[in-house]
Amino acid sequence: WANKICRRLPQTLHPIDNVVFMGMGEPADNAPSVVEAAGALIDPYRFGLAPKRVTISTVGPTPESFRELASGAPVVLAWSVHATIDEKRKRMVPTTRYRMEELRAGLMEAVKHRSRALQSVMLEIALIDGMNNSYEDAMDLIEFCQPMKEQFSKVVVNLIPWNDIGGMGPQFQAPTKEAVLEFQKILTSNGIRTFVRTTRGDDESAACGQLATSTKLNKRRP
């Protein structure tokens, strides 16, 4: 049955030009399978995507996890940072067991051993109003990026406005568009290339994080 599906893929699927592993499970928890899947996507005899069109996004459970993903799959590696101060990141990423300096060192070591074309750093920040989108948060992020900027020619930050998923409490609110752009302005004015990710699917409650959380909330209701 799987072979049958694969034979029909070119005729049944819309063209795929970009793939990101993120949001629905941590890639480093299943690194061998993720690496294998990424390899299939860039295989010229299968999906044939360019390596820069495939991204593996990880929270970086351990410093070594970056190396496992980066060395196994010649695709873009992104780190879901969310906050650079240890105490704040622990609140936002409760599974965090290492200091941010340790994780940063692990990422830099992994990137250092990649091909020149892939020696870039991509950081991702899910912006939550009043939690990690202040001027101080931006300045902390700029300082955190400096060692990476000194070693690598390309350091990019992707800002991802929080998607309202309901049931998370009043402290989880999406920032205004103006607040997101102001955060971006602070970073770019200090030499950090920064992009704001376009939210897709939120009108159908199908944006990043919404599907899984909605399912869990529905199961709790009598």
User: pLDDT by residue (tens digit) across 47-75?
Assistant: 899 999 999 999 999 999 999 999 988 99
Given a contact cutoff of 8 angstroms between Cβ atoms, the answer to whether 175 and 163 are in contact is: no
Give residue-wise pLDDT tens across range 107-162. Answer: 999 999 999 989 999 999 999 999 999 999 999 999 999 999 999 989 999 999 99
* Cα–Cα distance measured from residue 211 to residue 9, given in angstroms and rounded to the nearest whole number: 25
CA 157 – CA 190 distance, rounded (Å): 12
Strands 120-127 and 19-21: unpaired
Both structure tokens of 92: 């936002």
Residue 209 has pLDDT above 70, yes or no: no
pLDDT range class, residue 207, cuts 50, 70, 90? very low
Q: Average model confidence (pLDDT) for the chain? A: 85
Please tell me the predicted confidence (pLDDT) of residue 23.
72
Q: Say how far apart CA 10 and CA 5 lie, in whole Å.
A: 10
Residue 180 has pLDDT above 80, yes or no: yes
Three-state SS for 198? Answer: coil
pTM exceeds cut of 0.85: no
Rg (CA), the chain: 18
